[in-house]
Amino acid sequence: MSGGALVARWGSATVAPVSTLVIAANLVLIGAAPSWLVLAVALLLAGSLDAVADVANNAHSLRVERRYGRSILNSLHAVWSIGAVTGAAMGSLAVGLGVPVVAHLALVGALLAGVPLAVRRRLLPGADAEDRPPVPTAHAGGREPSTGRRPGRARLWGTLAALGTIAACAQSVEDVGAAWSALYLRQDLGAAAAVGGLGFIALQACQTVGRLLGDPAVTRYGDRAVARAGAVLGGCATAGALATSSPAATVAAFGLIGLGIGTLIPASLRQADHLPGLAPGAGLTVVGTIDRIAILAAPPVIGAVADAAGLRTGLLAMPLAMLLVVLCAGALPRRLRAAAPAPAPAPAPAPTSAAARRTGPPPPHPPS
- pLDDT tens digits for range 238-290: 888 888 889 999 999 999 999 999 999 999 999 999 998 888 889 999 999 99
Model pLDDT, residue 126: 84
Q: Which of 44, 52, 293, 51 is nearest to 175 (CA)?
A: 293
Q: Which of 175, 246, 192, 223 is nearest to 71 (CA)?
A: 223
Per-residue pLDDT of the chain (368 residues; tens, 9 = 90+): 578 899 988 999 999 999 999 999 999 999 899 999 999 999 999 999 999 999 999 999 999 999 988 999 999 999 988 888 888 888 888 888 999 999 999 999 999 999 999 998 999 988 887 766 655 544 444 444 444 455 688 899 999 999 999 999 999 998 888 888 888 999 889 988 888 888 888 998 999 999 999 999 999 999 999 999 999 999 999 888 888 889 999 999 999 999 999 999 999 999 999 998 888 889 999 999 999 998 888 888 888 998 999 999 999 999 999 999 999 999 999 887 655 444 444 555 555 544 444 445 555 444 44
Over the chain, what is the mean pLDDT?
85
Show Cβ contacts of residue 121 under 8 Å, excluding neighbours closer than 6 positions.
Answer: none
SS (H, E, C) 129-185: HHHCCCCCCCCCCCCCCCCCCCCCHHHHHHHHHHHHHHHHHHHHHHHHHHHHHHHHH
CA distances to 72, 120, 129, 156, 334 from 16, rounded to whole Å, are 18, 9, 16, 26, 29
CA distances to 47, 77, 140, 174, 332 from 263, rounded to whole Å, are 24, 9, 26, 13, 12
Model pLDDT, residue 236: 93
Model pLDDT, residue 355: 46
Which sequence spans correspond to the domains of the chain? 1-122, 155-332
Query: What kind of fold does domain 155-332 have according to CATH?
Result: Growth Hormone; Chain: A; (1.20.1250)
Helix axes 317-328, 223-242, angle to 10 degrees: 160
The model carries a pTM of 0.81
Model pLDDT, residue 297: 87
